[in-house]
Amino acid sequence: MLVLVAPGQGAQTPGFLTPWLDLPGAAERVAAWSDAIELDLAHYGTEADADAIRDTAVAQPLLVAAGLLSAAALGDLKDINPSAVAGHSVGEITAAAFAGVLDDTSALRLVRKRGLAMAEAATITETGMSALLGGDPETTVPHLEKLGLTPANVNGAGQIVAAGTLEELAALAENKPDGVRRVVPLKVAGAFHTRHMAPAVAALETAARELAPADPTVTYISNKDGKAVATGSEVISRLVGQVANPVRWDLCMETFKELGVTALIEVCPGGTLTGLAKRALPGVRTLALKTPDDLDAARTLVAETA
């Protein structure tokens, strides 16, 4: 059984889209998406520097576009035939397109509004995120909550990302939970997946009213609780609310286990989720689509899990 997954913000690097645009029809597809959302995706994916693509309003649509483009290069979804799809944070919108809940253009229009709304929400209070290296979730989570922080990403494989105000994060750096070796500040614009993103939720609720979602054609696993979601309307509702609530990727991987997943392919810019899977899902074959050079191996993996 195969699961197709899409990474979240932070996976992008300067120029990562360049080789994908050389594939037949790719540049034209990206140009059409760029026109639809009024953002030059080709420029940001090929020429822009790290600071430019770190901007939430840019990074999020760029990641969804890259995921859709690389999946299309792999083949028609009916031929790939994954048993399930999922995405980490903004990657959930990519997964919603994989599942047929949204068409590609609707997904990109939604993520453009998401990125803009989250960037604006991040300007209200100085906030940030820090990764904790080491530690046990049963000890770490209560410690974070005592400091007023949110465990914004519970990623499994011993990885938790805390989010909150800069003062709260400074207190965490001075007072680490037992077992945590290091607290590493992340280069992000705000405390995503926390109460600080509440204004973005309101903006997305308005945007969601313009959508006409279809029910998933493949099992769609939600970040909220790792559960499969059966209706398009519920997928959209969860996408909206998830902006201000923690990502539970650990529970998504637990569901992969329960489904009997034997292979995992991560779309471009792959690497983050396959790294987590290698630690948390021993025995599951993993492959990250980093460049088009990875497509042949991915097609072989698809064929072997058919």
Catalytic residue set: 89, 193
**DSSP labels, 115-136:** HHHHHHHTTTS-EEEEEEEE--
Rounded Cα gap, residues 189 and 85, in angstroms: 28
Tokens standing for 266? 């991560």
* Residue 43, number of CB atoms within 10 A of its CB: 13
Single out the residue of 177, 97, 99 nearest to residue 132, CA to CA: 177
Label residues 224-244 b or e (16+ Cβ within 10 Å = b): bebeebeebbbbbbbbbebbb
Q: Collect all residues with Cβ–Cβ distance below 8 Å to 260 and sequence separation of at least 6.
A: 1
Decide: 126 and 154 in contact? Cβ < 8 Å.
no
Decide: 62 and 268 in contact? Cβ < 8 Å.
no
Label residues 140-165 b or e (16+ Cβ within 10 Å = b): bbebbeebebbbbbbbbebbbbbbbb
H or E element, residue 53? helix 50-54
Decide: 156 and 280 in contact? Cβ < 8 Å.
yes
Decide: 305 and 2 in contact? Cβ < 8 Å.
yes
- Collapse the DSSP code of 237 into the 3-class scheme (helix H, G, I; strand E, B; otherwise coil) and give the result: helix
The one-letter amino acid code at 254 reads E
